[in-house]
């Protein structure tokens, strides 16, 4: 397929509040940091919306030829973790291990690529202590009752990411919890003194544990350098978390911390943000137990452009399942239907146009909805052509290539393991065996295979063009 000159890759940057052309600062490698999960519970599909956006971002950067150096943190120490671990008589690591493992399993189920560096806060405590001491030397901290705080008044640019003027209200009010009122700026805790018999780390700052914000500054700069290309997370992290990361990092280095800040909007349920604290959440496991396919969930989470709110409904999830089925059926049709000989230049041009539309949509701040529209419009037209015998065999390869490129990003076509425990590959193998049995006039075996598949929720349909199948 020929490529015409195209518009550059561009993202909306929360820092500038503008769409900006993106290129990495150094060479061909994108240095990216994304805030990962707090492992005190199973992640919910709201969290997974943000992680799916980050996955689409990764994949699109690679599609455009960049190499990636991506760090994601695992927040494995905070107030809730300490509280829950103590209540269960476990160490922090014993307590978080289960949820960290569950997160990784969920990520795999949703086909989220593993970042190059997946790093735990608790593996970087000495680095954090060092950073806090350095901030102290530079005059950005003060101590109070054994805890160390960041003095926001010492960083005049505070507020530049969330575009808020905090100058009237930053006179030393302190906060030492990790979750607090997001309406006002407070001096935030860098090192929190140990209370009672809490687990703790010892060192020059005294017995305690790091605040949440310092972990991201420290781990980002440790693995990626002082100025990184992209920093991403959910929109609720803009303030105070990311604002605080900027305050810490830029106070330490005197250099811009991140060039591009990308924030994903929330997944909503009935007008409210899905949140653990509101109790209005579904985990991935909940939805799988209800019989939904991971690919349908992935499709749904990816289908709404990341800067738009995603209103979660079961109708929406069912529509996503149907969309995935349409995509797969089209692919199967291309692979199995006997097509007339020849090549149509018109079809070739149409396929190339669909690819251009798809790519341009994703270059445009990852407009996944437009990218999907380009593919579905193409599929609708191609199906009509096939019905009319007007999609010659010589065009099938390019149509399949279009699907392959689509799937490099959306990743919903390749076989998955269903709830019934049968993969698409296994289904296809049994269908082939059934075809062979029928050819050998062993109808008993053919019927047996059909029944066996039906038991696993797979319905076969014998059409003029061959066998089609779907999951019940
Ligand atoms: P947490 O585990 O609470 O630290 O959150 C992990 C990620 O999920 C962060 O980037 C949050 O911004 C994001 N997040 C939390 N709730 C939602 C939601 N309802 N929709 C989208 N992203 C969310
Ligand atoms: Zn973070």
- DSSP, res 267: E
What's the average model confidence in pLDDT over 167-189? 69
Give the C-alpha separation, 136 to 175, whole Å. Answer: 18
Question: What pLDDT shows up at residue 167?
Answer: 76
Residue 362 has pLDDT above 50, yes or no: yes
Greater confidence, 73 or 182?
Answer: 73
CA distances to 114, 286, 429, 453, 460 from 457, rounded to whole Å, are 31, 20, 16, 6, 10
Give the C-alpha separation, 247 to 157, whole Å. Answer: 8
Alpha helices per DSSP H over 337-367? 345-363
State pLDDT tens for residues 316-361.
999 999 999 999 999 999 999 999 999 999 999 999 999 999 999 9
State pLDDT tens for residues 391-426.
999 999 999 999 999 999 999 998 776 544 677 888
- DSSP, res 423: B
Q: CB of 395 closer than 6 A to ligand 1?
A: no
Residue 142 has pLDDT above 70, yes or no: yes
Question: What pLDDT shows up at residue 421?
Answer: 67
Question: What pLDDT shows up at residue 342?
Answer: 96
Tokens standing for residue 11: 């993202």
Q: CB of 237 closer than 6 A to ligand 1?
A: yes
Residue 449 has pLDDT above 90, yes or no: no
Q: CB of 159 closer than 6 A to ligand 1?
A: no
Question: What pLDDT shows up at residue 274?
Answer: 95
Question: What pLDDT shows up at residue 182?
Answer: 55
Greater confidence, 379 or 451?
Answer: 379
Give the C-alpha separation, 107 to 283, whole Å. Answer: 12
Question: What pLDDT shows up at residue 258?
Answer: 98
Q: Are 430 and 459 in contact (CB under 8 A)?
A: no
Provide the pLDDT confidence category of residue 180 given band limits of 50, 70 and 90.
low
Residue located nearest, by CA, to atom 11 of ligand 1: 234
Q: Which string of b and e fits 434-460 if b means at least 16 CB within 10 Å?
A: beebbeeeeeeebeebbeebeebebeb
What's the average model confidence in pLDDT over 122-148? 97
Residue 174 has pLDDT above 80, yes or no: no
Q: Left if phi > 0, otherwise alpha if psi is -120 to 50, otherwise beta: which for 259?
A: alpha
Provide the pLDDT confidence category of residue 2 given band limits of 50, 70 and 90.
very low
| End-to-end CA separation in angstroms for the chain | 37
Q: Are 104 and 98 in contact (CB under 8 A)?
A: no
Question: What pLDDT shows up at residue 169?
Answer: 64
Q: What separation in Å is there between the alpha carbon of 132 and the centre of ligand 1?
A: 26
DSSP 86-143: HHTT--HHHHHHHHHHHHHHHHHHTTPPPPSEEEEGGGGHHHHHHHHHHHHHTT-EEE
Greater confidence, 428 or 120?
Answer: 120
Residue located nearest, by CA, to atom 18 of ligand 1: 46
Alpha helices per DSSP H over 166-293? 212-224, 243-253, 284-289
State pLDDT tens for residues 40-85.
999 999 999 999 999 999 999 999 999 999 999 999 999 999 999 9
Provide the pLDDT confidence category of residue 459 given band limits of 50, 70 and 90.
confident
DSSP 319-339: HHHHHHHHHHHHHHHHHHS--
Q: CB of 241 closer than 6 A to ligand 1?
A: no
Question: What pLDDT shows up at residue 1?
Answer: 47
Q: What separation in Å is there between the alpha carbon of 100 and the centre of ligand 1?
A: 15
Question: What pLDDT shows up at residue 413?
Answer: 96
Q: What separation in Å is there between the alpha carbon of 148 and the centre of ligand 1?
A: 27
Question: What pLDDT shows up at residue 419?
Answer: 44
Question: What pLDDT shows up at residue 456?
Answer: 75
Which ligand 1 atom minimizes the distance to the CA of 36?
6
Instruction: Please enumerate in sequence order all residues whose Cβ is within 8 A of that of 434, keeping only pairs 6 or more positions apart, or say none.
Output: 445, 446, 449, 450, 460, 467
For the ranges 39-48, 253-262, 267-276, 445-454, the lowest mean pLDDT is seen at: 445-454
Which ligand 1 atom minimizes the distance to the CA of 237?
12
Provide the pLDDT confidence category of residue 304 given band limits of 50, 70 and 90.
very high
Between the CA atoms of 176, 182, 183 and 188, what dihedral angle is there, to the nearest 10 degrees? 30
Question: What pLDDT shows up at residue 420?
Answer: 47
Q: At what angle do helices 368-387 and 396-410 cross, to 10 degrees?
A: 150
Provide the pLDDT confidence category of residue 185 given band limits of 50, 70 and 90.
confident
Greater confidence, 247 or 451?
Answer: 247
Provide the pLDDT confidence category of residue 303 given band limits of 50, 70 and 90.
very high
State pLDDT tens for residues 206-225.
999 999 999 999 999 999 99
Among 50, 302, 304, name the best residue to mutate to test ligand 1's pocket (greatest count of ligand atoms within 8 A of Cβ).
50
Predicted model pTM: 0.87
Among 34, 47, 115, 213, name the best residue to mutate to test ligand 1's pocket (greatest count of ligand atoms within 8 A of Cβ).
47
Question: What pLDDT shows up at residue 172?
Answer: 59
Q: What separation in Å is there between the alpha carbon of 406 and the centre of ligand 1?
A: 26
Q: Mean pLDDT of all residues in the chain?
A: 93
Q: CB of 236 closer than 6 A to ligand 1?
A: yes
Ligand with smallest separation from the Cα of 71: 2
Which ligand 1 atom minimizes the distance to the CA of 75?
4
For the ranges 51-60, 97-106, 159-168, 394-403, the lowest mean pLDDT is seen at: 159-168
CA distances to 123, 344, 364, 460 from 52, rounded to whole Å, are 25, 37, 18, 32
């Amino acid at each position: 397929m020929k490529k015409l000159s195209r518009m550059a890759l561009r993202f909306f940057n929360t820092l500038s509040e503008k769409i900006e052309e993106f290129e990495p600062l150094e060479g061909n490698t994108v240095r990216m940091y994304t805030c990962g999960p707090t492992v005190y519970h199973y992640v919910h599909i709201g969290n997974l919306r943000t992680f799916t956006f980050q996955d689409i971002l990764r994949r699109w950067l690679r599609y455009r030829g960049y190499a990636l150096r991506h760090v994601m943190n695992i927040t494995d120490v905070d107030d809730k973790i300490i509280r829950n671990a103590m209540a269960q008589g476990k160490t922090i690591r014993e307590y978080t291990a289960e949820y960290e493992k569950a997160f990784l399993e969920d990520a795999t189920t949703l086909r989220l690529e593993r970042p190059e560096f997946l790093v735990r806060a608790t593996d970087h405590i000495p680095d954090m202590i060092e950073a806090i001491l350095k901030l102290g030397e530079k005059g950005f901290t003060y101590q109070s009752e054994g805890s160390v705080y960041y003095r926001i008044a010492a960083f005049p640019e505070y507020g530049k990411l969330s575009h808020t003027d905090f100058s009237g209200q930053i006179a030393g009010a302190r906060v030492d919890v990790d979750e607090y009122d997001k309406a006002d700026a407070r001096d935030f805790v860098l090192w929190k003194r140990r209370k009672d018999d809490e687990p703790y780390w010892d060192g020059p700052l005294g017995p305690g544990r790091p605040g949440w914000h310092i972990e991201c500054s420290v781990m980002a700069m440790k693995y990626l350098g002082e100025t990184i290309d992209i920093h991403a997370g959910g929109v609720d992290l803009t303030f105070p978390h990311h604002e605080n990361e900027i305050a810490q990092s830029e106070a330490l280095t005197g250099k811009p911390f991140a060039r591009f800040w990308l924030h994903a909007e929330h997944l909503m349920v009935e007008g409210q943000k899905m949140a653990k604290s509101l109790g209005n959440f579904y985990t991935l496991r909940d939805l799988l137990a209800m019989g939904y396919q991971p690919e349908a969930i992935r499709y749904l989470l990816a289908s709404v452009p990341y800067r738009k709110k995603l209103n979660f409904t079961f109708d929406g999830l069912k529509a996503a399942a149907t969309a995935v089925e349409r995509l797969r059926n089209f692919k199967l049709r291309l692979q199995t239907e006997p097509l007339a000989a020849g090549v149509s230049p018109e079809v070739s041009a149409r396929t190339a146009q669909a690819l251009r539309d798809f790519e341009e949509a994703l270059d445009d701040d990852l407009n996944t909805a437009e990218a999907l529209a380009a593919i579905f419009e193409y599929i609708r037209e191609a199906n009509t052509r096939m019905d009319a015998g007007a999609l010659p065999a010589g065009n099938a390869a390019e149509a399949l290539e279009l699907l392959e490129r689509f799937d490099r990003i959306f990743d919903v076509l390749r076989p998955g393991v269903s709830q019934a425990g049968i993969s698409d590959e296994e289904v296809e193998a049994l269908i082939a065996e059934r075809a062979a049995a029928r050819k050998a006039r062993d109808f008993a075996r053919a019927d047996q295979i059909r029944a066996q598949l039906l038991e696993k929720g797979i319905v076969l349909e014998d059409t003029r063009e061959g066998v089609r199948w779907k999951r019940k």
